[in-house]
Amino acid sequence: MAPVPGSGLAKGLAVTLRTMTKKTVTEQYPDAQPELPPRTRGVIGLFEENCTVCMLCARECPDWCIYIDSHKETVPAATPGGRDRSRNVLDRFAIDFALCMYCGICIEVCPFDALFWSPEFEYAETDIRDLTHERDKLREWMWTVPAPPALDPGAEEPKELAAARKAADKLAAQQQEPDGPGEEDRT
């Protein structure tokens, strides 16, 4: 059976009429903040105290939009006769959000949990050169990072916690014994 001429046009007009009669839903953005999903990727926050200047984030970034400068400081020995240590001190940590593609690789490769996703999205600038944000601004965004979700109550306990609890229980059991091993040898 051949299609009726003009049936496609009628279907299109029917969709248009249905859409025209529906009530519109408009977000009043500046006055009412949008409800963001929990894993929203806004900007990257820096927890500076955890940064060891290992440079993994800058090396793994496909856009090369992370700039890090540092210097070494000598830390005196903690004990007499000990060896002086050197540590890296962060001088500059900046991210150019004009280049960033928000892939999250820098956050994933950071072994010290120094970088986090913040849901902050209101950081527009009138000049593209102002989209390079230094560590002070990245540190401010750290306070907008949401807390991690709670663990699943039915999930298995993390191995680290189980091992620490086992060691603590063993130590408590040894301290509870009235005559520990080797007590008779101390006379």
Tell me the per-residue pLDDT of 37-55, one tens digit each, with 9 for 90 and over: 877 889 999 999 999 999 9
The answer to whether the annotation marks 54 as part of a ligand binding site is yes
> Which residues are CB-neighbours of 177 under 8 A, at least 6 positions away?
none
How high is the pLDDT of residue 40? 85
The answer to whether the annotation marks 65 as part of a ligand binding site is no
How high is the pLDDT of residue 94? 97
Higher pLDDT, 132 or 157: 132
Highest mean pLDDT among 56-70, 115-129, 145-159: 56-70
The answer to whether the annotation marks 57 as part of a ligand binding site is yes
Extended beta strands in 21-174, E state: 43-46, 66-75, 85-96, 115-118, 132-133
128 falls in which pLDDT band (50, 70, 90)? very high
The answer to whether the annotation marks 106 as part of a ligand binding site is yes
The answer to whether the annotation marks 51 as part of a ligand binding site is yes
Q: Which of 57, 64, 47, 70 is nearest to 110 (CA)?
A: 57
Q: 43-149, what's its fold?
A: Alpha-Beta Plaits (3.30.70)
Q: 115: how many CB neighbours lie within 10 A of its CB? A: 24
